[in-house]
Amino acid sequence: MKLSSQALEVLKILREQGAQTVQDFEEKGLDQSMVNRAALELEKQDLIEKEEDEKLEYVLTEKGLEVKKRGSPEYRLVQKASDGSVEIAELNEIPKDVAIGKARERGWIEIREGKTHLTPEGEEIRDDPVKQRLQEQDFTEEHEDRGLVEIETDTKRRLSLTSDGEGLDLEAVELDFNVEAQTSTPKTGKKHYYKNILQYARQTWMEMGFEEMEGDYVVPSFLNFDALYTPQDHPARELHDTFFVENPEKADLSEYGDKVEHVKKTHEAGWSTGSRGYGGDWSKQEAERNVLRTHTTAISAMTLHEIDINDEELPKKFFIVGRNFRNETVDRTHLAEFYQTDGIVVGKDLNFANLKGYISKFFEKMGYEKFRLIPSYYPYTEMSVEVQVWDEEDEEWLGMGGAGMFRPEVVKPMLGFEAKVLAWGLGIPRIAFMAAGLSDIRELYRNDIKIINETPVWRPDWKTARGEKK
């Protein structure tokens, strides 16, 4: 015979201690719902039987509690008329109809000329018999009729062993485990769900053979804008989009050597990139201004400057998962800081199909089955595309970032030679936002233990996790 561990525990208690009520089991520390489930299981096996004991008992109503505290209306009337009589109009604090009716019924008062007068019997009243009986729990039908008490039924179920239960060999019982039963959530340590996703994104790029790039939050405008062929009068460089640093306000661009001059010439007339540039004068002072980086693509530009490679080492692949800052108005869908993952692949024979392959593989590993590339525009890539993924839950395409081939105006001045460079910048917050089932993006940065405990551990099949969350 197979029994659950809970049923076996109940059976052992009945064997050792005899018949028990459900309340008896509760006093032993067993949960009532667990005992009820176990009892149902044992009853189906004809190992126990149930008996229900019903006990009727009186319980004071709100009106009864009031009388127990302040006395019955008729007794309070007698107290009011302690001087021999009282005007009926003065009985507003007492339920007059009940007080007069019951007092007359008991022969305590009589009414003459709009007044209640105590009878000789009424003058002898010293105690309230109704209140006294309520206090002594000596309840009568009168109390019930007056609504001072009501009858409640207390049903106790008593479990006892049948002859089969008495004779069962407990050593021969096999435990039947319900592996699908819902259990309590263990109170264990748990990483923040956003950190899980960020770490998984890093792990994904490493598995794809990418090297990790690192860089500071504070970078010169030279890296954030100029090296990426963003014109110096571009709207993105204005105060309403960018956080400019006051101290230190300027960066020393000497570490970039001749590349500063190459970028200058590229902006003004195209240098040797085959471009005509933007024309006009390029300001070194503008390029020296320190900013909080607005995208991790600034670190991609820095990496082009720093790497020392030759043709035999190509292609080289780099990535970063990092925090960026923009002068946004904070609301439920926007933050002044956000995470982004950038990647670049430097090679000689790369093409757009390679770019599509890398992005496709990344999103496949992140749990998205369908994605598409939509023509778009960025100052530093050509061709440029917006990356979109298909959200099966809401049945819509979602923008996840931009990608393209770095323009020669970016590659040659910073890398030092001509090459093909695939580049992308993809958003992480939206993945986390949807996976955690959040309605406010600010919750990504809140250390709310309840939300952290309730949010499933992120995994590539996060769409299932999101369904469980909802």
Alpha-carbon distance values, 426 to 296, 319, 404, 454 (Å)? 10, 11, 12, 27
Tokens of 406: 């770095």
Average pLDDT, the chain: 86
Contact in structure between 367 and 455 (CB atoms under 8 Å): no
What is the C-alpha to C-alpha distance for residues 273 and 266, in angstroms, rounded to an integer?
7
* Comparison of pLDDT for 21 and 257, the residue scoring more: 257
pLDDT at position 240 is 63
Tokens of 33: 């719902």
Whether this prediction's pTM lies above 0.75 is answered by no
The answer, yes or no, to whether residue 128 has pLDDT greater than 70, is: yes
Nearest to 343 by CA among 359, 327, 332: 359
Nearest to 118 by CA among 66, 129, 71, 126: 126
Percent of the chain beyond pLDDT 90?
39
Nearest to 298 by CA among 230, 386, 400, 376: 230
The answer, yes or no, to whether residue 171 has pLDDT greater than 60, is: yes
Q: Which residues contact 405 (CB under 8 A, 6 or more apart)?
A: 350, 352, 355, 381, 382, 383, 420, 421, 422, 423
Nearest to 413 by CA among 261, 213, 232, 224: 261
Tokens of 320: 């970063």
Tokens of 253: 């661009």
Q: Residue range 252-261: average pLDDT?
A: 96
pLDDT at position 281 is 95
Tokens of 273: 């990139």
Nearest to 350 by CA among 405, 272, 308, 300: 405
Domain spans in the chain, listed from the N-terminal domain onward: 60-152, 193-469
* Structural fold of domain 60-152: Arc Repressor Mutant, subunit A (1.10.10)
Q: Which of 142-156, 258-272, 320-334 has the lowest mean pLDDT?
A: 142-156
The answer, yes or no, to whether residue 182 has pLDDT greater than 80, is: no
pLDDT at position 92 is 66
Cβ neighbourhood burial of 247 (10 Å; 0-12, 13-18, 19+): exposed
Contact in structure between 326 and 309 (CB atoms under 8 Å): no
Tens digits of residue pLDDT in 285-297:
999 999 999 999 9
Other Cβ atoms within 10 Å of 267 Cβ, number: 25
pLDDT at position 89 is 66
Alpha-carbon distance values, 231 to 170, 225, 274 (Å)? 84, 8, 17
Q: Which of 81-85, 94-98, 322-326, 346-350 has the lowest mean pLDDT?
A: 81-85
So what's the architecture of 193-469 in CATH?
2-Layer Sandwich (3.30)
Alpha-carbon distance values, 392 to 178, 367, 388, 457, 464 (Å)? 33, 11, 13, 20, 11
pLDDT at position 31 is 85
pLDDT at position 239 is 63
What is the C-alpha to C-alpha distance for residues 269 and 387, in angstroms, rounded to an integer?
31
What is the C-alpha to C-alpha distance for residues 221 and 287, in angstroms, rounded to an integer?
5
What is the DSSP track for 82-135?
TTSEEEGGG-TTS-HHHHHHHHHHTTSEEEETTEEEE-HHHHT--S-HHHHHHH
The answer, yes or no, to whether residue 470 has pLDDT greater than 70, is: no
The answer, yes or no, to whether residue 376 has pLDDT greater than 60, is: yes
The answer, yes or no, to whether residue 145 has pLDDT greater than 60, is: yes
Tens digits of residue pLDDT in 204-234:
999 999 999 999 999 999 999 999 999 999 8
